Amino acid sequence: MILRENRVVIAHIYTATAAIVVGAFFGALQGLSRATVFNAPAWFDYYRILTMHGVLMALVFTTFFITGLALFVTYRSIPRERNTTLGWAGYWVMLAGVLMAAVEILAGNATVLYTFYAPLKASPWFYVGAAIFIIGTWVIAAEIFGNILWFRKNNPGMPVPLPAFTAGATFLMWWIATLGVVGEMYLLIPWAFGWTHGVNVMLTRMLFWYFGHPLVYFWIMGAYICWYNIVPKFYNGNLFSDGLTRLTFIMLLLLSTPVGIHHEFMEPGISATWKMLHTITTYGVAIPSFITAFAIFASFELAARRLGKRGFWQTVQSLPWKNPAFCGPAYGMLLFILGGFGGLVNASYSMDSLVHNTIWIVGHFHVTVGGPVALTFLGIAYWMIPKLTGRALWKPAWALWQTRLWFIGMLLMSFSMHIAGLMGAPRRTAEISYFGSAPNEWAAYNATAAAGGLVLLTSIVIFACVAVGTLLANKKGEDMTVEFAQPLEGSERAPAMLQALFRWGLVALVAAALAYAGPLLEMLHNPGFPAPGMRTW
C-alpha cells in the first residue's frame, strides 16, 4: 500500500524538479540579458523566456511540489487502505494542462508573462491549459479532503492529525483563491477564441489578484507544513503547540484572500476606500507569520535546553547544520525575514508608489518565493526522497553545498535587485538602457544579479543530480518509516473550535466575498470600454 502511495508522490516531486531545472535555466538567461552579456535571439525573445521562467517557477514547480507534499503528509498521517486513483487523476490532469500551456508559450503564442494581463492576448489554448491545470489541483484537493472526512467518520471525537489538518487548510485556501482564476478564464477564453469582441481589462486584473496574492500564501503554507510537522524531527525537537499551529493555518486561511487589491494601488477603477481596507488586511496576514517565527524559535530553544545549552548562540550551534534537509528550511527562514520586511513596504500605499514598477518588486518576489519556499522544498526533498524510494541520499555533501549555494545566490540576486529598484531600474522590460541614457549605477547591480542567477542555476543542477542519483544509483535499504513532530508531553489538546476546519473554510469564503463585493460592483458600474486585445510580440 505504502509503495503504491509513494509512486504518485514521487511523480509529483520529480515533475516539480524538472520544472525548477528548466525554469532556473530561463531565469539565468534573463539575468544575463539584463546585464547585456546575452542577447536573446529574435526567434526566442526575452519576453518568451520571461514567461517560461515565471510560469515554470511560480506555478508549475511550486504547485507540483505542494500537491506531492500534501498527499505525502496526508497519506502518512492517516494510514488506511486506499486507492490512489484521485492522486493519479489529479497528477495527469495537471500535467496535461501544463503541457498544453507550455507548447503555446514555446511556440510564441502566449508571451503574456505569468500574470497573463489583458489586453495582452494569448492563444486560447494557453488559457484552456491553465484552466485544466487548476482543475487538476482541485482533484488533488478532493483527495485530501476525502481522507480527512474518512478520518473523522472513523475516529469520532478525535482531532484530525496535524499534518493532514495543515494540508487540508492549505488546499481549502487554494480552492477559494482559484475561484478567481475560474472567473478570469470565463472572460479570457471566449475573448481569445473571438467569441466576444472585447474584455474588461480592469476586471480581469482584479480577478487575477484575487488569486495572485493568495498564491504566495499557498507557497508559504506549503513551507509551513514542513516547518511545523517535519523540521523539528531533524534536531530531536517538538512541535511547540498543536493549538497554536492550527490557529496559524486558520488565520492564513481567513486572511490570505481578502488582500489582493494591494497589488493594484496604481490601477484606476478601484476606490481608495477599498485599497485602504485591503492594506489593513495585508498587515493582518503578517500576524500568523510572527506566530510562526515565535513557535519555531521556541522549539529550537526547548530542544537546546534539553541538551543543556543556554543562550542564543549555544541554541544556534546546537542545530544540525550538517544536515541538508535542515539547512534548506533554516536558510529559507533567514531569507523570509528579508522577504517579510519587503512585503510590509509593498503593502504601504505611499512606499509602494515608489517601487511598484521597479525591479525592487522582482527582488522581493524572489527572496520570498526563492527563499523560504523553494529552499524549504529543496531541503525537505532530501528527506522525502529517501522515505519515498527506500534509497539513501546520493552525495549528501553535494546536497549540503547545494543549499548553501542557493542561499548565497539568492542573497546576491535579490539584494542587487532591491538596490537597483530603489535607483529606479524598471521591471518587465528587456530594454533597460533607455538608448544610453540610463544611469550607469544600474550596471553593477545588474551584473551582480546575473552572477547570483548563475550561482542559483549551478545550485539547482546539483539538486537535480542528487535527486536523480538517489533514484538511480543507490540500492534500497533506507528506513521508509515517517514520524512527524509531536507536541511536548502534557500539552493541552487544541480547543474544538480550532479543529472545525471546513467551518473555517466557509467563513473564509464569506470573508473573501465581502472583501471583493464592493470593488466588483464599482467595476461593473463603470465597466469602461471593452479591449479587443493585442499581440505586441
Q: Which residues are known to be catalytic? A: 213, 217, 364-366, 427-428
Residue given cell 511540489 in the structure block: 65
Secondary structure class of 534 (helix, strand, coil)? strand
- What dihedral angle (degrees, nearest 10) is formed by the CA atoms of 387, 406, 211, 130? -70
CA 144/CA 218 separation, integer angstroms: 15
Let me know how long the chain is: 537
Contact 410, 456 (CB under 8 A): yes
CA 94/CA 12 separation, integer angstroms: 10
Contact 501, 172 (CB under 8 A): yes
Query: Of 421, 401, 456, nearest to 32 (Cα)?
Result: 456
DSSP of 397-441: HHHHHHHHHHHHHHHHHHHHHHHHHHTT-BSS-S--SGGGTS-TH
Query: Of 297, 302, 259, nearest to 281 (Cα)?
Result: 259
Grid cell locating 429: 522590460
CA 419/CA 428 separation, integer angstroms: 17
Secondary structure class of 373 (helix, strand, coil)? helix
Q: How many angstroms separate the first and last alpha carbons of the chain?
A: 50
- What dihedral angle (degrees, nearest 10) is formed by the CA atoms of 508, 513, 516, 522? -170
Cα distances (Å, whole numbers) of residue 153 to 156, 203, 311 = 6, 42, 46
Query: Of 238, 215, 233, nearest to 329 (Cα)?
Result: 233
Residue given cell 546546537 in the structure block: 318
Secondary structure class of 104 (helix, strand, coil)? helix
CA 458/CA 402 separation, integer angstroms: 8
Query: Of 253, 218, 80, 84, nearest to 161 (Cα)?
Result: 80
